[in-house]
Amino acid sequence: MSSPAQPVEPLAGDEVHIWLVDPDAITDPALLARYAELLNPEEVARRDRYRFDKLKHDFLVARALVRTTLSRYAAVRPAAWQFEANQYGRPEIHSPAIGGRLRFNLSHTRGLAAVAVTWDRDLGVDVESIDRRNSTLQIARRFFAPAEVDELMSFPRGEQGRRFFDYWTLKESYIKARGMGLALPLDQFAFCTQARPHVTIAFTPPLEDDPAAWQFFQDTPSPRHRLALGIRHPAHDRLRVTTRWTTPLVD
């Protein structure tokens, strides 16, 4: 039996809501069984393809997060959402129609899943666990834009491992907001994380995009995690971003 729809929560036109969950904190078998009831057959098959229970668990909690979050904003049961993916794998709501275009993006990493929602704008969210510090400079040199490598190298050596994740999450948030993932060349756009008052992006041909059409937000949801949100909306008209923790179907 699927869960009842929750009351609809307001999401103003100038807002983005980010909901966070710590999958490791959800251990109640009865609650996890309710999450499993939300999955469609395709999601069940995908979960079952994971070899390790931990990955199955994280997948289940992330699906529950997406479905219950969307149901905060529309009178739709969490199990009723149907999704379709674009050619690069980006999922969008396919049905039911709810009288507006609710957009979302999901990211997960060790110990954290995040979903961002807004009305009718391209958005991408990325969360990374920052306790992996190996090889960060080699990765930066290989994948980042030259200006980003220069900026990263300008920080004191002891900060570079942490700062690396600022660029990584921002870059992921942009390619996810574009819905194209790694089909976009990572070295053809560069973030300046030291710009004031907000992070800026610059593009190098052949990547054609307008820096003024984007805004970016950063957060540190836990001491172990870094988060970035990218959203296609004029940079001068700053959106309001709210981040909250949740336990799906509980609060």
Rounded Cα–Cα distance for residues 19 and 69 (Å): 7
Contact between 92 and 86 under an 8 Å Cβ cutoff? The reply is yes
Residue 89 zone, left/alpha/beta (φ > 0; ψ -120 to 50; rest) = left
Is 221 near ligand COA (CB under 6 A)?
no
Nearer to ligand COA, 88 or 203 (CB): 88
Shortest distance in whole angstroms from residue 38 CB to ligand COA: 14
Q: Per-residue x/- mask for ligand COA, residues 47 to 66, rule CB under 6 A? A: ---------------x----
Shortest distance in whole angstroms from residue 140 CB to ligand COA: 8
Rounded Cα–Cα distance for residues 234 and 210 (Å): 10
Q: Per-residue x/- mask for ligand COA, residues 97 to 126, rule CB under 6 A? A: --------xxxx---------------x-x
Nearer to ligand COA, 3 or 173 (CB): 173
Shortest distance in whole angstroms from residue 63 CB to ligand COA: 8
Residues near ligand COA (CB under 6 A) are 62, 88-91, 105-108, 124, 126, 143, 168, 171-172, 175-176, 179-182, 186
